[in-house]
Structure 1
Amino acid sequence: MKMLVCCGSGLGSSFMIEMNIQKVLKELNVSNIEVDHSDLGSAKGTPADIYVGTRDIASQLQGLGKAVVSLNNMLDMNELKEKVSATLKELGII
């Protein structure tokens, strides 16, 4: 399973969210998910099961994979953990 974090430029913010998702996955004892980051333009050509982005770009990620995690605040670890774990439960991963 692959999770792709996207932002407008694919550099700082998506990389930071990627690292935070890896922390969340470790807390949830989930180890079979590859996490990567990308810019929005490249996301359309990068297959993933779950796409993660801030609310301003989440609508552009709809339909690319099985699920989209839309973050209101990319710095809020509680929101990130809540939304990632809910998505993983919906997909039967946890």
Structure 2
Amino acid sequence: MKILVCCGSGLGSSFMIEMNIENTLKSLGIKGIEVAHSDLSSAKGIPADVYVGTRDIAVRLEGLGGEVVSLNNMIDSAELKDKLIEVLKKLKYV
């Protein structure tokens, strides 16, 4: 299972969300998920089961082959946790 976090430049915000996802997975006791970050342009060439981005980016992640998680607020850990659990259940990972 791979989660790819995307932002416009692939640096600050995607890296921060990647770390938040890793912390959330750890707090939930979920292992075996690779989490990475990328810029939007490179994401097209990186296969993933789940693509995560802020709502302005998420629409551009549709059609890449994985589930898309759209975050309204990239620093809202409760929103991230809820949406992450929802997509992992949908993929029958948890």
TM-score normalized with structure 1 length: 0.97
The root-mean-square deviation of aligned C-alpha atoms, in Å, is 0.6
Unpaired segments of 5 or more residues in structure 1? none
Identity of aligned residues (%): 68
- Match for residue 73 of structure 1? 73
Partner of 2:31: 31
- SS state of the match for residue 17, structure 1? helix
Cα offsets for 1:52-76 (capped at 9, x unmatched): 0000010110121330000000000
Pairing of 1:14-93 with structure 2 (within 5 A):
14-93=14-93
Task: Name segments (4+ residues, structure 1) moved above 3 Å.
Answer: none
Alignment deviations for residues 22-71 of structure 1 (CA, whole Å, 9 cap, x no partner)? 01111121111000000000000111110000000101101213300000
| Pair 1:4-2:4 in alignment | yes
Q: Is the 8 A contact 1:51 1:65 kept in 2?
A: no
In structure 1, C-alpha distance between the alignment counterparts of 2:3 and 2:77, rounded to whole Å: 17
Distance across 2 between alignment mates of 1:66 and 1:17: 18
